Amino acid sequence: QAKQSCPPLAVATVAEGVAWALRAGCRAMKVCHGSSRRQLRTLCHFVKGRFGISSAPSSSGGGGAALLLLLLLPLLLCTFPRLPGDLAFAGALQPRAKQLLTTQAAIGAVDTATTVLAEVELPAALAEIEEAAARSAALRYRSVKLELPAEFATGPVSAAFIGPSEELGRRAEVAGQSPLVLLHGFDSSSLEFRRLLPELESAGVAVHLLDILGWGFGETSAVRDFSPAAKRAHLHAFWKQHLGGRPMVLGGASLGGGIAIDFAAAYPEAVERLVLIDAQAFIDGAPQLGPLGGLGIKVLSSWPLRWMANQMAYFDKERFATDDAVRIGKLHLEAKGWEEASLNYLNSGGYTLSPLVSRISAPTLLLWGEQDGILDGNEQVPRFQSELRGLVDLHWIPECGHCPHLEQPARAAELIAAFLVQDSASR
């Protein structure tokens, strides 16, 4: 039976949409409902315009869009032998040795007496990234060893994260600020918050940007499972073993927001408040690739797919949807074990979040880009407002697409900082 909803189309979601298309092409006339169908149709129109295709996709729904994507896939994968506007990076789509650049991250605030921080290995492709904020954030990465239940790992697991400076961490602790942890979106890394980080720190906010298990730059050789349950256990271990089990403010963008909801539902005692940034919570499941897994992962990592996702993510495409942004979004794909971790997660079936939203009683800051073309705020926001049991502090971000933390970081940081002040004043 065809699922009633397609996977979402973001940096997270376009990737899942095409992977889903690989399996759904043979069921092209099955009907897909709601905003997902419109998102697939939008992507098809974009692809048609890009390649001068005159025929329209099937009006019967998402299946026709999936079939069009499937038919165009070989063309997409061979259309960019050289990346637009960047001759120096033209060989990036060719097989390359996964050279690793070891960076000694600056040691910041240590949250527990037993925490031991270590260096993080970052791909050599970091040298090709132009954005100063991305390079600066990358050099602040560090890692900590966590103990996970035996069902998820055979030994200690490295959690990669970007933490506060020693001074800022100390000031936050003296001021009684609860730890703030932010989670990136699907198949991304904490570099997603590269522009938000300095804005938050300028406002005096100490933040931990955690790479979700299986994505980002954590070392995962001991991990045997990357399912939602394993990702939840990884976050719980970080909270308990590194943050000392202090109640925290937990937030995330896109699927990262959904993962925050999943964690808050499982461990309400751990989460004082939530920060949701264009969060995915009402589209359940992930495409189980089965025998097409190898091909699906290659598609997921391809430059054309990531480039299209970039185009859909922003309101101001000319300024933000750049080749450099694609390179930043692809950097973690060179980390050892990425393919296996991604395939394991997709074949686990992904997250089922929609039943969990009504279980959340923590006060929630809800930020939404007014021009989000991936998750339509006019559909998503009212559901959050009606189903979340705690107070919802909603703010629409003008001139902004799916990523307020990247497109309007100053405004996003201002609202987060104000939310944390409200938290302190209420206690």
Which residues are identified as catalytic? 254, 372, 402
- Maximum alpha-carbon separation in the chain: 64
* Three-state secondary-structure class, residue 394: strand
Antiparallel, parallel or unpaired: β 157-162 and 207-210: antiparallel
For residue 229, the one-letter residue type is A
Alpha helices in 336-376 (DSSP H): 338-347
Specify the DSSP class assigned to residue 396: E
Cα 382 to Cα 365: distance, rounded to the nearest angstrom: 14
Residue 95 burial by Cβ neighbours in a 10 Å radius (0-12, 13-18, 19+):
exposed
Question: In angstroms, what CA-CA distances link 147 with 151, 157, 191, 244?
Answer: 11, 6, 25, 14
Non-local CB neighbours of 80 within 8 Å, separated by 6+ positions: 93, 303, 304, 307
Residue 240 backbone phi and psi in degrees, to 5: -80, -45
CA dihedral sign, ordered 187, 191, 194, 198: positive
Cα 14 to Cα 17: distance, rounded to the nearest angstrom: 5
* Three-state secondary-structure class, residue 287: coil
Residue 132 burial by Cβ neighbours in a 10 Å radius (0-12, 13-18, 19+):
exposed
Q: How many residues does the chain have?
A: 427
* Three-state secondary-structure class, residue 2: coil
Structure-token pair, residue 117: 């921080």
Give Cα 372 to chain centroid, integer Å: 15
